[in-house]
Amino acid sequence: MVRILMITFLLSSTLSKAQDAVDKAVEYLQSLSLEENDWENTALVLEEFLENPLEINNLNFNRIQNFPLLNSRHFFVIKKYRKLNGTVFTANELKALPFFTPELIKTILPFITFKFRQTTSKIQGTIIHKTYFNIEPSKGFFRLDSMNFLGGRTQETTRFKLSNYKHNFAFVWDKDKGERINNSFLKIGYQGSFNHNIKQVNVGAYSLCIGEGLIHSNDFIVGKNNPLNSFYKIQRSLKQNSSSTEYNYENGVAVIYERKKMKILGFYSMNALNGNVENDTIRSLKQDGLFRTNSEINHKKKGHYYLIGNSINYEFRKTAIVFNTLKTSFSKPYHPLPNYYNTNYSMYKLWNNSMNYRFFDGDKTVKGEIAMDHNGNMATTHFFVFKLSDAYNLMANARYFSPKYKSFRANALSEGSRIQNEKAVLFAGDYQGEKTHIYVSTDFFSFPVPKYLVQLPSYGKEFMGYLNYQITDSLIFKLFFRQKLKDKNQKSEFMNEPRRYTLSHVYGKILIKANKGTTIRCRMDFSKHQTNGLNTFGRTSYLDISHKKELSSFSARMVFFKTDNWDTRIYLYEKDVLYHFSVPALYDEGTRFYINYNRTMGKYIKIWLKYGRTIFENKFSISSGNNEIRGNLKTEIRGQIRINF
């Protein structure tokens, strides 16, 4: 009996120390973050580095790209130090390197090793299944005409993964609410890493990120509202895609070949297109992945697109130059019905070429991309990031996207949703002290020709400021302000006339660590929309409590909200089950609360549960169309289980 108790104590002690390391790392990342983030997903990545630490003396660039606590600056300074001095033996040597602050070194120590580790061929597996449904049925489930939903009320998602140090195989199956099983979605992908000239092979589903995203990117971009450290994180050009998205991924074969200072990426992809087809021409693309009704099913797999291209990367000293080429073709031409904003949207066969570059010299980074389509239309973006001292950083971005520039699945930092029709310059700076983090930015942008919801050429600007102040070890204060000035069509007597509007958003947040494992968060948001002398307002306030133990965690939140209209809606990030990102828009008047619970059961099983409810005041229905819910209540339940083996 004593032996069993000792084993139990040692196991719980080990789990507790590991959890403490992850919690401290997440707290460090939170102090650098401007907005709420999906920290549970980040914690899962950190847990993987606890089991397989980052080898400082054998740095793998792909691994450091995945490691949340370090970026390209740290990679290059370690690489330079080892070239001059050889092996790094202790953490004390890191203290002499730029960008390695005492706080950072203390945070990363549990996740790194200075030893050379033997790789293992041991295969590890994971199965995750998630179920999600609303208690109140939406209109599509009980209507009796031909527009009714054909499937059940639950959303089901299953993820399966087998991996070892070199090989990864994964598939994702997803059935949305209202879909039949035969209209569900399946994605399969394999990624292999090798030690010879062929470094990586992907077959099936993968994500492709070329340069800064001006000709193609399946990744999430670093937005304008991120700390400058984010701009040092180099995105992986090729990686396995195991998300549940049905639209933004590639399906085919990709290979990375390396020889000396040159790296070549070659790829081919063929994927289905969903949308509305008239006279053998695609008029609109359907990107939501929902096929619940006969009408939606009729828009499924109406064509295909094909990608083929390569990326040639050459590195010398402190500089990397990359030449990219990409050909895109559609099985049917894409010509949306003509409107004032989409005259340059048509596509059939595209050929995009670009050159991107990166120069790193310790305290400064210069990077960017210059792209051109087959008609000679240009798109460019350039970043200049300077480290003035250990505490101060400055960044500038200049970008220009021709109104006629065409690309498919381009995704880069921009004000608009398309890499097209934009001129802009962005300035940002931050200060990182021992207890204080300050960030300010301003972005000036213009649109040379009409765009969606703006029927004339227009311009705008955005200001943002952020303060994070650690008052004591257990009390943190955050203050955020953003103001955006833009144009938007307003209905007038004869036409939609663009009018200038100002949207302001400010929030204050207090984080209290009540005791070990318990955290209390209080936040108040205010929004203001001004146009034509008319002011409308919105506000929210919430109380959030979370508690962690060695094997379980619990969190709950109560939110009160009131907005004058949709223009003053407020988005609040919510904690959710693993890999589920939830940022509901709060509008009108009401309350919302949710409860989260997760628990580790033994060594291999973990479960997540979420219950959330929104209660609207003075409303008799929620949403519209097939998603309409009768009454003023909307209740969602999510459950998830993960089994490791």
Which amino acid makes up residue 33? S
Over the stretch 597-637, which tens digit does the pLDDT of each residue have? Answer: 999 998 899 999 999 999 999 889 999 999 999 999 999 99
Which comes out higher in pLDDT, residue 399 or 106?
Answer: 399
Q: Are 352 and 409 in contact (CB under 8 A)?
A: no
The structure's pTM equals 0.86
For the chain, percent of residues with pLDDT exceeding 90: 55
DSSP three-state, residue 83: helix
- Half-sphere exposure in the Cβ direction for 183 (13 Å, CA): 24
pLDDT of amino acid 423: 97
Q: Is the pLDDT of residue 31 over 70?
A: no
Report whether pLDDT(56) > 80.
Answer: yes
- Which tens digit of pLDDT belongs to each residue from 302-320? 999 999 999 999 988 888 8
User: Considering the chain, what percentage of its residues have pLDDT values greater than 70?
Assistant: 91
Q: What mean pLDDT comes out for the span 314-330?
A: 92
- Please report the pLDDT score of residue 2 as a whole number: 44
Buried b (16+ CB within 10 A) or exposed e, 171-202: bbbbbbbbbeeebbbebebbbbeeeeeebbbb
| Model confidence band, residue 234 (pLDDT cutoffs 50, 70, 90) | low
Res. 11 pLDDT band, cuts 50 70 90:
very low
More confident residue, 494 or 387: 387
Tokens (6 digits) for 77: 């300074």
Confidence of residue 89 (pLDDT cuts 50, 70, 90): confident
Residue 264, judged by CB atoms within 10 A of its CB (0-12, 13-18, 19+), counts as middle
| CA atoms of 293 and 273, how far apart (whole Å) | 18
pLDDT exceeds 80 at position 27: no
pLDDT of 225: 64
d(CA 306, CA 286): 17
Given this model, what pLDDT does residue 391 score? Answer: 83
